Every structure is written in structure tokens, then in C-alpha cells.
Amino acid sequence: MFNFDNTYMNLPKLFCTEQQPAHNPDVAMVCFNEPLALKLGINTELQYDPKLFSGDRLPQGAKPIAQAYAGFQYGRFNVLGDGRAVVLGEHIAPSGRRFDVQLKGSGKTPYSRGGDGLAALAPMLREFLISEFMAAVDIPATRALAVVTTGRDVHRERVLQSAVLTRIAQSHIRVGTFDLARLMGGTSDVKALADYTIWRHFPSIKNSDGVNQYLLLLREVADLQARLIAKWMCIGFVHGVMNTDNMAISGETIDLGPCAFIDIYDPDAVFSSIDRHGRYAFKNQPAIGGWNLARFSEALLPLLHENATKALELAEGEIELYATKFDKYWLDGMRGKMGLLGKDEIDAQLARDLLKAMHTNEMDFATTFYNLAEASTLGDRWQHQWLARLARHGQNVNDAQKIMRLHNPAVIPRNRYVQDALDAAESGDFTKFSELLKSLRNPFIYHTKYSSPPVSKEKYVTFCGT
């Protein structure tokens, strides 16, 4: 079974509301993540009781809550919360690590703001696919444990099947949770949330002598975000909706609704239907990460120093460090993608020139890196510099190719193939979904279909699913 604890409920009432999931007429299991269940110490036999994953039957120890948070959505502040989700509790795995178990699509809550509280099948299956790929390529992200259908209808542009996703996360504490504490609560609420976050995610901070623990919290979160967004940029991932309510303090990728992966490389790539001005375009993600961290630091200011000017200086210093850290993590990632050992002063320019050539020549992001040694369309100048860089560090092309095969997946969740699998699943045929899921769980193995770019270059648009 689950091994639940419920410590989040000990925070001030501002942060959550007890909420029972909605009851459903006809629950059926669609997919269950056995490898994840085994890793978490969850009995895989539970998959045969789908009502546990819809909220119709609560596991022992579950105390469902809807979490409250706020967020700067496209730069504008809004009070938000779990409008279609409840956290059943915190499962403690055999390793001692703590994970939220959340039901997404489980019905209305006090934070639904007029919504129906439901989720459609295809977006939940999409989150399952994307999160499994992220795990396979070592990008921190929430995970999907199960998807069940409920027997309900969901009314969007058309009538769809309702589904509930069981999502696993280190926690659902967001920058937006701190936004709520700062702007709708007070310093005592910020302190309670910060202390809880340190206890849950950064316990080593408590053992640090002589340094303000809230400054260390800001530093740790900034480091995690720099690492995460650098990984996004190295894989061609576009989150799509980087509001502060979608930025997890744990450094996990969260809310995989409007996300997508670049096919033809374009730094201005936008897929989300609601990002009409490109605020969260691919190239803007590192800067938006810094903007979000600035909002996080604003919440912490009263805890950083009693002198407001000094507190601001400390916070600004950490935000500047974020940019430096991002550059380092991004360049380290690009060195792996280019098959480079060691460090060379030309590496950053070599990476930028490569991306520029890919953009100019309208080259596919994933296949270019996978076949970089044979990518003759990059031009003689770039190839000459790359080969010279290899030689200076005692490498040849074969050496580089071995490194590149470890850092460049042969398969990514290409938008068109994902949509084809979801369309078929909505019609009751899960063959394509199962085939694609298997390939995404083994992304460094070449696949005759999924490793090739789709023939169509039609602009792909993603939706949040609400």
C-alpha cells in the first residue's frame, strides 16, 4: 500500500484546504507505471483497484487537500490553487524520501474559479509519456504513476473522456506558494513555509554555521533551477507556461500541459496556444527562470536581513549567481552533446556557432546532434574548428561519437508522433501509445520510426488541457 504522512497540513490554513475527491460512475485503469511503483515501494497489485487512483476509494492514511498558491501569470499576479487536483498525502518510500501523491482531474475544489475540476484523457496520457521520457534522459520532473478513466464526460471544444492522473512529486511547493505567502499572508507565513521547505528539501541547511539559512535556501533553489533549465535547453524542451505557479522549489519540471520539443531548430519556438507574444519562447527560458527567482527572493527579503537595503543586495547577488551557474551548466551539457572532453576557451563559441548554423539551415535539433559527426551541412569552417578542438584534447571523431551517444537521445517525444498516439488512444486503440511509451523509456536506442523527424512541417500547437 501507500505509506502516508501529512505534514503539509501543519502549515497555516492559508496554504491548503481539506477536500474530498469527486465520485465517478465507472472507473477503469488505463495505464499503470510498474517501474515507478517498485522504485517507490508501492504494491503493484494496487493497479487492480483503479478506484484508489480516482479518489473513489481513499488509501489508508490519506488526508486529501487542495493546495493554495498564487502566481505571476505572464507577469500578472493572480491568486490560484489546485483547481482540479488534490494531494492524498506524502508517501514515504523505503529510501526514506518523501513524495506527494496527487490526483489530477479529481473534481472541483475551492480554487476551481468556475472550472469543472476535471481533466481529459489525452492530456493526462501526454503527461505520462513526457514524464517517462524526462526520467529516461535524467531531467528532473514529476512522474505519472497511473491514469484512469472515470466514466464522465469533459466538455472542452468537444466532448471528451474524463481521466484522473496520479502524479508523484518531491513536493508541490512552488514559487507561487511563496507569492501567496508574501502577498496574501505575512512574514510569519513566509517564515513557516520557508522553514517547512528547508526541513523537507534542504535539511543540510540547518547544519550550516554562520550563514543565514534563508539565503542558503535561495542559493539552493537558484542552483536547482539553473541546472534544470540548462537541461531543458540542451534537449530542445519548451515548457510553454513558466509562470511562478509552475516553478517547483524542488527543481523538478512540473505541469507538463503545453510543453513541446523542438523539431526544426528555432530559438523563437513557441507552441503554447496562450503564449501569443512569445514570453516563454525557447530562447527566453533562462531569463524567465531568473525573473521567477527574483519573485521568490522578494518573498524571502524580510528573512534575509533586518536591513531592507542589505537584504536586497544579498538577493540580487544570488540572482546574478544564477545566471553564471546557468551558463556553466549549459556549456557542460553542450560539451557532452558535441562529444568534447575537458574544457577549451572556444567551447562556448563553438556551441553558439553550431546552433546558429542549425537555425540558418533549418536543421532538426535532435537528429543533428545524434548524427553530428556526419552533419556535413554545418559547413567546412565549423567542422574544421570542431575537429581541431578534438585533436587538441587527444580525441578523434570515434571518441567524440561515443560521448555523443550518451548525451544525445535517438528518440524524443516528437509532437506529431505524440499527437498520433493520443488520437488513437482517445478512440480506444492504445497500440501506438504503448509503442511510443516503450521507445521513450529507452530513448538512446534508435527506432526506425520515432528517431526520424515527421514529414509534415505544420506548426504544432499545445494546450493546457483545462
Q: Which residues are catalytic?
A: 245
Nearest to 378 by CA among 397, 395, 363, 399: 363
- In degrees to the nearest 10, what's the CA dihedral of 296, 298, 299, 303? 120
User: What span, in angstroms and rounded, lies between the C-alpha atoms of 400 and 336?
Assistant: 9
Kindly state the cell numbers that stand for 260.
513541446
C-alpha cell at position 256: 507538463
Q: 194 CB contacts (<8 Å, ≥6 apart)? A: 178, 214, 217, 300, 303
* Pure H helices in 338-414: 347-360, 365-370, 380-392, 397-407
> What's the CA gap between 304 and 407, in Å, rounded?
39
Q: Find all residues with CB under 8 Å of 202, minimum gap 6, and list them.
A: 216, 217, 220
Phi-psi region of 61 (alpha: psi -120 to 50; beta: other; left: phi over 0): left
Interhelix angle 187-201/213-235, rounded to 10 degrees, is 60
Number of residues that this document lists for the chain: 466
